């Protein structure tokens, strides 16, 4: 039976196993491959798994190691999903795909991305590729205030100036310990995680996941 998993460190808190189990009704095994050593994690993937999700701090390492990169992973310069195939390892970026899916129906014209880690890079590329007038703010630049139709907040914690965010929609990447929940137009990190997982799991398995069952995972937390 094909096996799947997640590499990164630390990842004990990850919701990915529960999401994957719900996506396919427990049909496939999904493991947390937790080690601070990328080479060790990569070797375990190659030896035992068909595909893996990749999280911090390994998104750049995995991107550099694969045999083929999708256009969106090249656009971002990182991968969070690698599939092993007969042609070699292939990298994708489902963060990019997830953000794009969330932004498309909103009808925004301007976007501000706060933070430039892996999630921030994916959000910036997705917003730009949708044709939004997009600006990047690093954490030190938030203090002066930020204004846009949609603000995408990818920092792991609150910084000076988050009380001066002016927007119609506010998407936060952090779903475990959000600092902006409850504001008007708020889109939680769980929506981002779900959007990227739905597209990502289909790439990993070649089968469409049960999105409704995946969404239920968050309602039960």
- By CB atoms closer than 10 A (0-12, 13-18, 19+), residue 1 is exposed
Residue 120 makes CB contacts below 8 A (sequence gap 6+) with 113, 114, 136, 152, 154, 173
Alpha helical stretches, state H, the chain = 16-23, 38-48, 59-65, 71-76, 94-103, 118-129, 189-205, 211-219
- In whole angstroms, what is the distance from residue 39 CA to residue 27 CA? 29
- Token digits of residue 16: 């990915």
Cα distances from 206 to residues 15, 69, 83, 188, 209, in angstroms, run 21, 18, 10, 28, 9
170 torsion bin: left (phi>0), alpha (psi -120 to 50), beta (else): beta
Element (H, E) at 6: strand 3-8
| DSSP summary character for residue 140 | G
Contact 120, 153 (CB under 8 A): no
Residues tagged active-site: 59
- In whole angstroms, what is the distance from residue 109 CA to residue 114 CA? 17
């Amino acid at each position: 039976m094909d096996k799947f998993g997640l590499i990164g460190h630390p990842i004990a808190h990850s919701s990915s196993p529960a999401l994957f189990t719900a996506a396919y009704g427990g049909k496939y095994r999904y493991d947390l491959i937790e080690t601070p050593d990328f080479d060790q994690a990569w070797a375990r993937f190659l030896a035992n798994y068909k595909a893996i999700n990749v999280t911090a701090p390994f998104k750049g390492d995995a991107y550099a190691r694969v045999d083929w990169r999708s256009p969106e992973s090249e656009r971002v310069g990182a991968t969070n999903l690698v599939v092993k195939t007969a042609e070699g390892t292939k990298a994708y970026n489902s963060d990019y795909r997830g953000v794009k899916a969330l932004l498309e129906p909103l009808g925004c014209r301007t976007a501000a991305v706060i933070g430039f880690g892996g999630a921030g890079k994916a959000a910036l590329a997705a917003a730009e590729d949708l044709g939004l007038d997009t600006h990047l703010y690093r954490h030190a630049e938030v203090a002066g205030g930020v204004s846009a139709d949609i603000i995408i907040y990818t920092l792991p914690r609150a910084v000076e100036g988050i009380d001066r965010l002016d927007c119609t929609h506010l998407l936060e990447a952090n779903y475990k310990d959000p600092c902006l929940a409850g504001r008007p137009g708020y889109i939680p990190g769980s929506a981002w995680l779900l959007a990227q997982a739905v597209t990502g799991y289909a790439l990993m398995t070649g089968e469409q996941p049960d999105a409704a069952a995946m969404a239920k995972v968050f309602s039960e937390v």
